[in-house]
A and B are shown apart, each in its own frame.
Chain A
Amino acid sequence: QKEVEQDPGPLSVPEGAIVSLNCTYSNSAFQYFMWYRQYSRKGPELLMYTYSSGNKEDGRFTAQVDKSSKYISLFIRDSQPSDSATYLCAMLLQGAQKLVFGQGTRLTINP
């Protein structure tokens, strides 16, 4: 079983739709939860991070962490074609040296 599971998609939605991206994890010791966006042939770009449980909002993006269910989500409101990319969840143990990534979900927003 992988430490972090993420549905690879692909996911295709119309412009303006609300997008929900999700990851589950098995290690209850993870404390930091991140979402990265990766455009084709580019490096990952940090979108949002959350420490422990709770919600965090930044513009059209909302990140949620439910530690009791070992489940994290990223919501994108009013999705735009420029949001088309692969979205990677990543997690970190307190004091650890490595990010543990999910497989990535490939998202396409259709105009």
Chain B
Amino acid sequence: DAGVTQSPTHLIKTRGQHVTLRCSPISGHKSVSWYQQVLGQGPQFIFQYYEKEERGRGNFPDRFSARQFPNYSSELNVNALLLGDSALYLCASSLRTGGSAQYEQYFGPGTRLTVT
């Protein structure tokens, strides 16, 4: 059974540009979360989506947005890129949101974004 998949693997963008990252959850999983991991740090929560609705948002500026599609895949969009947005962007899927099942988050390999 396929795990969480993310695309692209690597991406290089210039300051001010826009980027779209994509995630496909494990089959049957309806909740997708996005995390940003800066080199040498732990992942930081950005968003969670469940059943196509935003269920949680971390402390990130409005330049970050996301959405979830009817097939439960998700996109993370970042506008007006800054050098500080360079990081590994991780997607995690789980069966459902909240409660004791929330810990069962399965992470994808991530998309490494470099902003120059």
Range of interface residues on B (Cβ < 8 Å): 20 to 34
Known: A43-B4, A45-B107, A49-B103. A102 touches B42 (CB 8 A): yes
Determine if A43 and B107 form an interchain contact, defined as CB atoms under 8 angstroms apart.
Answer: yes
Flag if B43 contacts A44 (CB, 8 Å).
Answer: yes
Given A44-B90, A97-B56, A97-B97, A92–B42 Cβ distance below 8 Å?
A: no
Are A92 and B103 in contact, with the CB atoms below 8 A? yes
B103 A34 Cβ-Cβ under 8 A: yes
Given A45-B107, A49-B103, A98-B33, are A104 and B56 neighbors across the interface (CB < 8 Å)? no
A41 to chain B, nearest CB (A): 8
Contact B43 A32 (CB under 8 A): no
Contacting A46 at CB < 8 Å: which of B4, B55, B104?
Answer: B104
Contact call B45/A98, Cβ cutoff below 8 A: yes
Count residues of chain A with CB under 8 A from any CB of chain B. Answer: 28
A-side contacts of B105, CB under 8 Å:
46, 99
CB–CB A92/B102 < 8 A: yes
Whether B42 pairs with A6 at a CB distance below 8 angstroms is yes
B108 engages A43 (CB within 8 Å): yes
Q: Determine how close the nearest CB of chain A comes to the CB of B31; give it in whole angstroms.
A: 9
Q: Whole-angstrom distance between the alpha carbons of A96 and B98 in the complex? A: 6
A binding-site residues for B, Cβ under 8 Å: 4, 6, 8, 32, 34, 36, 41-46, 49, 51, 88, 90, 92, 94-104
Question: Can you list 19 contacts pairing A with B, beta carbon distance less than 8 Å?
Answer: A32-B102, A32-B103, A41-B109, A42-B110, A43-B4, A43-B90, A51-B100, A94-B99, A96-B98, A97-B55, A97-B97, A99-B33, A99-B35, A99-B43, A99-B45, A99-B105, A101-B42, A101-B44, A103-B42
Q: Report which B residues bind A (CB closer than 8 A).
A: 4, 33, 35, 40-45, 48, 55-56, 58, 90, 92, 97-100, 102-110, 112
